[in-house]
Amino acid sequence: MVDAAFRPGRGTTMPPAPQRDWALFLDLDGTLLDIAATPGAVVVPRDLVSDLEAAAAALDGALAIVSGRDLHDIDQLLAPLHLPAAGEHGAVVRLPSGRRDEVATRVPKDWIEVLLQLQETCPGVLTEPKAHNVVAHFRNASAHEATVRRVASELASRDPGNFELLEAKMAVEIRPRTVTKARAVDCLMKVEPFVGRVPVFVGDDATDHDGFGAAVQHGGIALDVAHAFAGRPNQVRAWLKRIAEVAAP
């Protein structure tokens, strides 16, 4: 759920000038990376890895990726970087020490099998199983959107106390209720080099609202890509380049 401290539209409406005391939390798809037809089709811009490395150095390491992807995907996309990160919307948080803080709850295997079967009966649907969550994408199967939503909703309703249905861009995701991007912010803000800094969370869709709320609750800033960057990841990437400059005398 969205934290009471934040509602869509309350985030800053233009990107602020970077500050040395920030702790930066960045979503990946739709924020740093342009959305592609499938998760595997995204293109990592040539300068992104070096710009992330420079920004992390400028902030003394207080930069984390907070994504719906799992940690393996994050690391593959941003290789050779191995940043503090949260995968699966906060189900697994890799702390700066390398230790992982992970929730125990996982989507039942038989639910995943039901969604995998949709790939056979609904051409173009892509089911993406993760360790704790499962996503059904219909970006390439708009005719089957209603079916995907109905099936996913029915599955989540089997155990509403422990699981919820999450809206994403042209997809729906079933995740444990204890898993949010706020959890990632809260975990990292307790440890060096994040502790005591001003959290700045940058994200683009409903999955990021909990992260926005957590950043605001910790006295920080929520930057919705739609409002602060005209909905364009290339503008986020241009702003990221400016963050390295805060290290300059």
Successive 10-residue mean pLDDT values, the chain, 249 residues: 40 80 96 90 94 96 96 96 96 96 94 95 93 92 94 96 89 92 97 98 93 97 95 96 76
The residues annotated with a catalytic role in the active site are 27
pLDDT given for residue 169 in this prediction: 80
Q: What is the DSSP letter of 112?
A: H
Cβ-based burial of 192 (10 A; exposed 0-12, middle 13-18, buried ≥19): middle
pLDDT given for residue 197 in this prediction: 97
Is pTM, for the whole model, over 0.95? no
- In the chain, the domains with their CATH numbers are 22-102+179-247 (3.40.50.1000), 109-176 (3.30.70.1020)
| 21-37 burial: b if 16+ Cβ within 10 Å, else e | ebbbbbbbbbbbbebee
Element (DSSP H or E) covering residue 125? none
pLDDT given for residue 193 in this prediction: 98
pLDDT given for residue 3 in this prediction: 37
Query: 202, 139, 140, 205: which is closest to 166 by C-alpha?
Result: 205
Element (DSSP H or E) covering residue 172? strand 171-176
